[in-house]
């Protein structure tokens, strides 16, 4: 044993929040030209949560953060880094993270947003891990939060049925340990990628410097599906190689919840048994940056994910951006 000491980012607690209103496919079919059968067959989605006028990205993020802090058994004042991954912030600026920071009453630390759409939570985790290991902070809140319903074109049945709102959060803590102790909890490996050549496949047709409007989501679903399966399988294999592991070493995969067919195709490409993949897309739909932490928190709270398990987080989103994080929890 080398005895070399390293600093790892350990997951101390998780939390999540959903809007009050759940909208089933049958209810959605009353306002959109679609059916429950059409949506389920193509996506696996049966319901989603939609924010009301009083629910915002920051309010959902704050509630998820409070629950994660409670699960970690710490006080909000112990948090000195907050990163919010979102494509639907309350305001163009300041960052949603600063609103959450003020709501929690832990002002003075680092707080900022990251924008990588559905991969945002992976980008936020990786950034927090680097800051914690570098000594810039001791405890971090990493949050994925969205009110995607605000940017949907409700006349476009090919996109509006796919998305929902929500938030999820993790508390990460920097802990010193033995570099050779692979049984110790903490983030083991991360990899992130982006390719801006595919901007027109998944984007919002507005923005402050172009149209001076918020815009609406546009997507070429078939092309996104094809790239998602290839990119996700590739980055999962890449992270496993960095860690010196195989898919057999994983207890769970917590993927971005975009479409059940993408989850199934990615798992088959990596020879992963379906029972190792956490699936919440059926009742959450695609909540963009919130989907990974929402799925993780649900699996922790229902007892599937337990201390000591090896967990792979992965996602792909507009940009394209994609990434994966491997951690022992």
End-to-end CA, the chain: 23
Residue entry with tokens 């992976």: 122
Instruction: Look up 118 and say whether it is catalytic.
Output: yes
Cβ neighbour number for residue 177 with a 10 Å cutoff: 14
The one catalytic residue in 25, 118, 160, 231 is 118
Question: 3-class SS at 97?
Answer: helix
Asked if 162 and 202 touch (Cβ cutoff 8 Å), the reply is: no
Residues 74 and 257: their CA atoms lie apart, in Å, by 29
270-303 in b/e form (b: 16+ CB < 10 A) is bebeeebbbbbbebbbbbbbbbbbbbbbbbbeee
Q: Which residues pair with 23 in a beta bridge?
A: 48
Q: Are 125 and 325 in contact (CB under 8 A)?
A: yes
In the structure encoding, which two tokens stand for residue 305, read together? 């994910």
User: Could you give the CA distance from residue 255 to residue 98 in angstroms, rounded to a whole number?
Assistant: 27
Strand duo 110-114 + 81-85: pairing = parallel
**Residue 265: is it exposed, middle or buried by C-beta count within 10 angstroms (0-12/13-18/19+)?**
middle
Q: Is 286 a catalytic residue?
A: yes
Among residues 25, 231, 256, 259, which one is catalytic? Answer: 256
Q: Establish whether 107 is a catalytic residue.
A: no
* Residues forming the active site: 118, 256, 286
């Amino acid at each position: 044993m080398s005895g070399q000491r390293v600093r790892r980012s350990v997951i101390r607690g998780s939390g999540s929040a959903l809007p009050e209103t759940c909208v089933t496919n049958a209810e959605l079919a009353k306002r959109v030209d679609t059916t429950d059968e059409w949506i389920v067959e193509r996506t696996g989605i049966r319901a989603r949560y939609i924010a009301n006028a009083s629910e915002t990205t920051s309010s959902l993020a704050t509630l998820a953060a409070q629950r994660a802090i409670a699960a970690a058994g710490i006080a909000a004042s112990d948090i000195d880094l907050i990163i919010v991954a979102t494509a639907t912030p309350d305001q163009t600026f300041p960052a949603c993270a600063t609103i959450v920071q003020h709501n929690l009453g832990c002002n003075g630390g680092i707080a900022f947003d990251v924008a990588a759409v559905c991969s945002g939570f992976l980008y936020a985790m990786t950034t927090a891990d680097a800051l914690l290991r570098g000594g810039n902070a001791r405890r971090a809140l990493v949050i994925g939060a969205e009110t995607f319903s605000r940017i949907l074109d409700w006349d476009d049945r090919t996109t509006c049925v796919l998305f929902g709102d929500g938030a999820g959060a993790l508390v990460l803590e920097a802990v010193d340990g033995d570099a050779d102790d692979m049984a110790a909890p903490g983030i083991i490996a991360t990899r992130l990628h982006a390719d801006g050549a595919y901007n027109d496949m998944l984007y919002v047709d507005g923005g402050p410097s172009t149209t001076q409007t918020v815009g609406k989501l546009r997507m070429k679903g078939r092309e996104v599906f094809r790239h998602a399966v290839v990119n996700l399988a590739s980055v999962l294999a890449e992270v496993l190689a960095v860690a010196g592991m195989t898919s057999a070493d994983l207890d769970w995969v917590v993927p971005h919840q975009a479409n059940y067919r993408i989850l199934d195709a990615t798992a088959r490409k990596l020879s992963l048994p379906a029972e190792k993949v956490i699936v919440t897309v059926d009742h959450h739909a695609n909540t963009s940056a919130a989907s990974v932490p929402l799925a993780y928190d649900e699996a922790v709270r229902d007892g599937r994910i337990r201390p000591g398990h090896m967990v792979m987080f992965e996602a792909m989103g507009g940009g394209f951006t994609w990434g994966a994080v491997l951690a022992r929890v």
